[in-house]
Amino acid sequence: MKYALVTGASRGIGKAIAIKLARELQYNILLNFHSNIEAANATKELVEAENVQCELLQFDVADAENTTKALEEFSKANPDAEIEIIVNNAGITRDGLFMWMKPEDWHSVIDTSLNGFYNVTQALLKNMLKKRYGRIINIVSLSGLKGNAGQVNYSAAKGALISATKALAQEIGKRKVTVNAVAPGFITSDMTADFDEKELKKLIPLNRFGEAEEVADLVSFLASKKASYITGEVININGGLYS
Ligand SMILES: NC(=O)c1ccc[n+]([C@@H]2O[C@H](COP(=O)([O-])OP(=O)(O)OC[C@H]3O[C@@H](n4cnc5c(N)ncnc54)[C@H](OP(=O)(O)O)[C@@H]3O)[C@@H](O)[C@H]2O)c1
């Protein structure tokens, strides 16, 4: 049984990705989330409506021990399961000026995006290399490319993840495992719910925020066999805001 693991898939972009990978590529879904069990269950129903299996895996990607434990337990209970796709999507923001930034706001953002990538990917990589097939897709951000005032922590986490994407791609290309990053601009989700879209959209050539489904379309392509010759790339999806 082939599975795609999507972290932070109870809501927002991760949710759209989980549904899209089920619908378009017929992958069974390992749906990771942190705490919102209601949202996770609602997404599971939508994934299952695509006639695939969906397993909920609740763990904090920033917590190395729990991440490893959850993934090991899943493999033990499902010896036939092959995780072919990892989408490292879980991420948080704790915005504020660097001058006033509290240590917990610095560390939690890095721990989730960057260490989360390490915790999840490291636990699953060996198997992908053994099978000589895999797709690793990291959801980064425009902030990780250009830097964003008020988001020094987030820009650092996403920027480091972009570099990790490029380095890992070079390490494991020989084993036919590709590693790419997707860098969204402003996308409608809970993360951007408080943003002033009317003002911000003036900066965006396409004059609107993007939809989670549009990011999911790109991820689905990168996760497919059609993207076999793309690795180490960062693909922008930002309405022309920056590229
Ligand atoms: N929205 C944008 O404009 C935008 C732009 C660029 C990049 N991104 C990136 O896209 C990704 C998804 O963003 P989004 O807008 O969909 O965010 P969102 O609506 O806030 O959803 C975040 C998701 O991540 C999960 N999550 C948070 N911390 C986690 C942790 N420590 N362990 C496991 N799961 C965790 C949440 O689970 P619970 O439901 O359990 O809380 C939820 O499913 C993030 O990496 C974000 O940085 C977003």
* Ligand 1 neighbour 91 (Cβ under 6 A): yes
2-237: in CATH 3.40.50.2300: no
Would you call 182 exposed, middle or buried from its count of C-beta atoms within 10 A (0-12, 13-18, 19+)? buried
Count Cα neighbours of 63 within 13 Å in the Cβ-side half-sphere: 11
Indicate the top mutation candidate among 69, 89, 119, 215 to test ligand 1's pocket, ranked by most ligand atoms within 8 A of CB: 89
Q: Give tens-digit pLDDT for 4-33.
A: 999 999 999 999 999 999 999 999 999 999
Which pLDDT value is given to residue 132? 98
Write down the domain spans for the chain.
2-237
Q: Which residues of the chain have pLDDT under 50?
A: none
Question: Which two tokens mark 164?
Answer: 């990790």
> Does the predicted TM-score (pTM) go above 0.75?
yes
In percent, the amount of the chain with pLDDT more than 70 equals 100
* Ligand 1 neighbour 151 (Cβ under 6 A): no
Interval between CA 24 and ligand 1 midpoint (Å)? 22
Closest ligand 1 atom to the C-alpha of 91?
45
140 φ/ψ sector (left φ>0, alpha ψ -120 to 50, else beta)? beta
Positions marked catalytic: 154
Interval between CA 159 and ligand 1 midpoint (Å)? 17
* Ligand 1 neighbour 12 (Cβ under 6 A): yes
